[in-house]
Structure 1
Amino acid sequence: MDTDTRTPGRRPRRRTVVIASAVVVALTLGGGAAWAAERYLVPHVAIANVDEYEAAQAAQAAGTTTADGTTTATATDGTSTTTTDGTGTGTTAVSVQTVTTGSGTDTVTYYVADVTLGTATDLRSAFADDAFGQNITATTSAIAEDNDAIFAINGDYYGFRDTGIVIRNGVVYRDDGAREGLAFYTDGRVEVYDETATTADELVAGGVWNTLSFGPALIEDGAILDGIDDVEVDTNFGNHSIQGEQPRTAVGVIDENHLVFVVVDGRNEGHSAGVTMTGLAEILQSLGATTAYNLDGGGSSTMYYDGEVVNDPNGTQDERGTSDILYIAAEG
């Protein structure tokens, strides 16, 4: 296992990008071109300043007009941060490793971030351009830098769809349950749940800090789930299949406040072919995950650490824009 986690000389590329692919085809073919552009290309901003919005929501919930009191962090040696959330102090440790298996066309390269959280709220979410809505995108590294992150991965690309429960940093942004989601609680628990069986307000009342809406769940109770290679997360226009060998991003749960994040490179012969959903689950199981959940993959799959993109996004060392990240902050 190679523990050299950074590539000297490679810096994050800051670009704002929108989804193209099948949408561009629709535009060139005419027909629903105007509708497709409006739905999948044109940014639609619902909340323009998320930082201010979350601070106001937190102040309202606390019954005060003070700052939101959420996590601050100070970088130490580049592999950990010390964090305080207003209720106690703990150390959040992050270590990143590169793993390569196989050879030739069967080579697979993936990146593992082992994260022990001082407090559950040290793991935060951020949106592209500090705005919530649809088709608002920026690269993972750009969002990470805008939020003084020492570590970040791409999230669930919530902005490509208009369904799913979206709770970020304890604030409700969308309440339209549609699929199997993942909930991070303030007490350190992480659970797969059925979005259609609850509401966002009920989740927040129960202590949910962040939700992700993509999937599928890969592992529950330590066992790899059946049928995960046949799952289609979305069937809406312009969506790519998530089947077959692909670049991947996933989160695994080792224990309360102990997580592993995995990003698998793909579409790059000789470097990494990518993995199936079952292959991804096997990686997470080998790392000790008892629960694991798939996030947006393909060209979105990106891991950022200590000022650099550590993987090879999209097989071209060039990041694709996304809606959101999960990150751990470092004091600027």
Structure 2
Amino acid sequence: MRRTTIPTPRWRRPRTALVAAVLAVSLTVAGGSAWALDRFVIEHVEIRDVDAYETAQTTDATTTASTATPEDTAATEATLTDTTYESDDASIALSTVITGTGESTVTYYVADVVLSDATVLRSAFAQNAFGTNITETTSDIAADNDAVFAINGDYYGFRDTGIVIRNGVAYRDEGARQGLAFYTDGRVEVYNETTTTAEELLADGVWNTLSFGPALLEDGQVVAGVDEVEVDTNVGNHSIQGDQPRTAVGVLDTNHLVFVVVDGRSPGYSAGATMTELAEIMQDLGATTAYNLDGGGSSTMVFDGAVVNQPSQGRERGTSDILYVAG
């Protein structure tokens, strides 16, 4: 190996200046690490007891909302076969769909849900707390809330923007993107968060909002450009494009919803779906409006205490929230 000798310069930076420069670089790196930890790892709890907070808010509000009493259930892993659930509050029909062959095989799970009332579909936060970076698995949050059916939500806790209304209570009012609003009268609509406020949405009867996206279907048609949308551009976010595990919700009729979880990153079992392919799945199921939720390792469906899909990491990934129907 040829070695090149660099001549020693005739002048030399004072040692103190050199130390100061090194220290400045070190502090910059350390500061960046500290910022990243604070932004993406360290829990920031804004509301410690969400159940109590929602009870207080709904008691004081002019409009009322139903509340559920959490009871613990055990979550296990299971292979889902076509099955149904019936109660006075909801009718749920679950099925597994497998399409394609070989490495192009796609496996997804469908839950057709009819609600007696829009408020039967509820949301719950990880650890019963609101804030950023607070996580718990979908099955554990479901068990905490006696859910017979649940899917992962929008992972609101990854970001500090977006309008967050859950179970008729406003938690955040920082409009930033295209959201989805569930109304107490059974309507479900895509809306622009930046043109309204949480207060106005509550006054119009919004029960839950989701802030992720993009919208997949509007008026039954695939939204143009869905494969080019980036939900977040902040540090630490990964692209949501290409073949990925997916979670989506669609509207079939008033108080009639369809939820889909597509498994992915496992060629031969399920390669995942692009955003357009997800939209087409929702369209084939008869949805007129459909919206993309957090996917990747978060995509999880729970039914009757069991994780029915195969999360891409080989286990459930912690998330910040779920949508569920109580048993």
Equivalent residue letter for 2:325? I
Distance 1:51 1:99, change over 3 A: same
Matches within 5 A, 1:251-266: 251-266=249-264
The answer for the alignment partner of 2:325 in structure 1 is 328
The answer for the alignment partner of 1:50 in structure 2 is 50
Aligned residues: 288
Matches within 5 A, 1:261-300: 261-300=259-298
**Distance in 2, Cα, partners of 1:109 & 1:81:** 28
The answer for the alignment partner of 1:319 in structure 2 is 316
> Equivalent residue of 2:97, what SS?
strand
The answer for the alignment partner of 1:6 in structure 2 is none
> Equivalent residue of 1:145, what SS?
helix
Matches within 5 A, 1:94-113: 94-113=92-111
Deviation at 1:315, TM superposition (A): 4.8
The answer for the alignment partner of 2:39 in structure 1 is 39
- Cα deviation per residue 1:13-70 (whole Å; 9 max; x = unaligned)? xxxxxxxxxxxxxxxx756101100111000000000000000001111499xxx643
Q: Which runs of 4+ in 1 moved over 3 A?
A: 68-74
CA contact (8 A) 2:68 2:145 kept: no
**Distance in 1, Cα, partners of 2:185 & 2:51:** 23
Rg (Cα) greater in structure: 2
Give the unaligned 5+ runs of structure 2.
Answer: 1-28, 72-82
The answer for the alignment partner of 1:81 in structure 2 is 87
Matches within 5 A, 1:237-256: 237-256=235-254
Equivalent residue letter for 2:304? D
Deviation at 1:280, TM superposition (A): 0.1
Deviation at 1:95, TM superposition (A): 1.1
Equivalent residue letter for 2:319? T
- Cα deviation per residue 1:103-126 (whole Å; 9 max; x = unaligned)? 110000000000000100000000
CA contact (8 A) 1:266 1:315 kept: no
Superposition RMSD in Å: 1.8
Give the unaligned 5+ runs of structure 1.
Answer: 1-28, 84-91
- Cα deviation per residue 1:94-151 (whole Å; 9 max; x = unaligned)? 1110000011100000000000001000000000000000000000000000000000
The answer for the alignment partner of 1:220 in structure 2 is 218
TM-score (norm 2): 0.85
CA contact (8 A) 1:73 1:82 kept: no
Equivalent residue letter for 1:280? L
**Distance in 1, Cα, partners of 2:317 & 2:169:** 26
Q: State yes or no: 1:230 paired with 2:236.
A: no
Q: Choose from 148, 173, 189 the match for 1:175.
A: 173
**Distance in 1, Cα, partners of 2:59 & 2:48:** 18
CA contact (8 A) 1:71 1:121 kept: no
- Cα deviation per residue 1:209-232 (whole Å; 9 max; x = unaligned)? 000000000000010011000100
